[in-house]
Amino acid sequence: MVASIKLSDAVKRKRDLQDAESDIDISSTDSENESGSDEQQEIVNVDFDFFNVNKDVDFHALKNLVRQLMGPQESNKVSLTALADLILESPTTTIKTDGQESDPYCFLSFIDYKSHKDCDYARYLKNVDTKIAGFLQTIDNSNKSCSLVLSERLINMPPEIIAPIFNITLEDVSNSLGSGKNYDYYVIMSRKFEVSVEVDDDEKPGQGRKRVRTSEIDYFHEEDRFFEQNAKIHADSESRKGLISTFVVIDHSSLLKSIEEVKALVETW
């Protein structure tokens, strides 16, 4: 797939937070920061290739991406080594730019919950929020199927990859489950970021215009907006140094709906 990456100011703002956590070197994309101009934009054409996970190559990159996804505090609460091994054994798609033996810049993985309900990551989810814990307990006592979804990418990946990587991996999931089956529910972990901005205070007319500081929430992953809108359950952590962990429970039809909605949005850009 050939895509055009446009590094805007909004992307730079997101990347400032992400660079602080990631061990993956993306300095080759940072020439805009050296230019000294906030308005300068760079367009880079890159071929993105979709691969099944490579057990011989991808382990360390997956650990780094999961650490980036969870953030410095939450990633200390799980065994990243065990989680990376679990991803390697699950239906997982990676995106690379230099062949199958290169490091992935993106991954999407669907981990079967009932097969791994006692794993370190599942135990972590049961402790992050009572709503998530209650849902997983309901799944434990039912015949419904559930997948734990993990996905992360470098911040300068183009949004055009969102729909293809989900569709490709969902097809792999269906093949893995057999007979064209899909999971009934998905538990998706992601994150947002909080930034402080100044706005005009118009609540006190006649006293002159004042600037007040407020907070805005934005998304690292564009698809998360739609997952939250269509979710059965949604929970956010408190902001920790500008980072907010998010968790959604979404059923299969709503997941497909969300993917189509984000695809339609991206096509208008």
What pLDDT score was predicted for residue 195? 84
What pLDDT score was predicted for residue 46? 73
Q: How many helices (H) and strands (E) does the chain have?
A: 9, 10
Integer Cα distance of 228 and 232 in angstroms: 9
> Quick one: which of 4, 82, 9 has its CA closest to 41?
9
Task: Please say whether the beta carbons of 228 and 169 come within 8 A.
Answer: no
What pLDDT score was predicted for residue 215? 79
What pLDDT score was predicted for residue 235? 96
The answer to whether the pTM exceeds 0.85 is no
CATH classification (class only), 2-267: alpha beta
What pLDDT score was predicted for residue 203? 58
Indicate the domain borders of the chain. 2-267
What pLDDT score was predicted for residue 18? 46
Task: Please say whether the beta carbons of 214 and 197 come within 8 A.
Answer: yes
What pLDDT score was predicted for residue 19? 47
The rounded Cα 45 to chain-centroid distance in angstroms is 23
What pLDDT score was predicted for residue 202? 61
What pLDDT score was predicted for residue 216? 87
Residue ranges of the chain whose pLDDT lies below 50: 1-35
